Amino acid sequence: MTSFEFLLLTLATFRLTRLLVFDRIFEFIRRPFLTEVEEDGEVYIVPKENGLVGWIGELISCYWCTGVWSAAFLYACYMFVPYSDPLIYILGIAGVAALIEWVVQFRV
């Protein structure tokens, strides 16, 4: 693996993890596994507490956990799935764009 491919996979992992854990577009995927709990006027999102649903809820509510599985998925695609390059490139480019947007927001 070249340094460029490593960087690309890193950025793609960053973006896929953000999509799964935080972005509104994937909220419909998280909804069956998470519950909103209100406590002292604050709303918290917590995993549901039963079996596989609870385990998946834990996974997608934890940025670090999801990051590991996202990295494993993308690396497996890179190694074993022909024609997975467009997915990895798109997520990598979107990762760079997200980082640029973050920098621009703090400079304005």
pLDDT in tens, 87-103: 999 999 999 999 999 99
Query: pLDDT per residue over 11-70, tens digit each?
Result: 999 999 999 998 999 999 989 999 888 888 888 888 888 889 989 999 888 889 999 999
Domain ranges of the chain: 3-103
Task: Supply the pTM of this predicted model.
Answer: 0.83
Show the DSSP H helices in 22-84 as ranges. 27-30, 51-61, 63-80
pLDDT score recorded for residue 107: 77
pLDDT of the residue at 73: 96
pLDDT at 108: 63
Q: Among residues 66, 87, 59, 58, which one has the least CA distance to residue 14?
A: 66
